[in-house]
Structure 1
Amino acid sequence: LIAGIVLFILMPHIQALAARRMLAIAVVPMFLDGITQLAMLRESTNPLRIETGLLAGAAFAFWALSEVESHVISTA
């Protein structure tokens, strides 16, 4: 919640397309981690899971905030 408030202060207008692209890029490390573990090429560690999950989660939150902002602007 605090990060979202700070984000809106620092970036008053979030481009939805940029947020979608950032989300797609941020999910790639988590996807690669899951696929390589599923294929038994290596065993994933908890720190790696936390790092990739935090990256994807932050990008998802950024995208969600951009969607909320665009919805509020379009209905106003």
Structure 2
Amino acid sequence: MPEKARGMREIGDIRDRYSPDNPYIPALPPNQESAVNLLLTLINQACFLLDRQGLALEEKFVKEGGYSENLFQRRIKERNNF
């Protein structure tokens, strides 16, 4: 069986198992190929956002330091106040 056909069959199986009754959860498109494209798009967007979050956290760490560094600075500051 070709790889594309196997993937489409798996998406069909997923659709049969996870058909939500909740009206706030959108259903997958009726066309299996459109459903696969939609899922790939969502995965791509999630990866993009995770990459941006990682870069933002890295930048924040470089500018502000880590938790242990900040805790140490506060401890030293508190000691010097006595």
Check whether TM > 0.5.
Answer: no
TM range (shorter): 0.3 to 0.5
Q: TM-score, normalised by structure 1?
A: 0.43
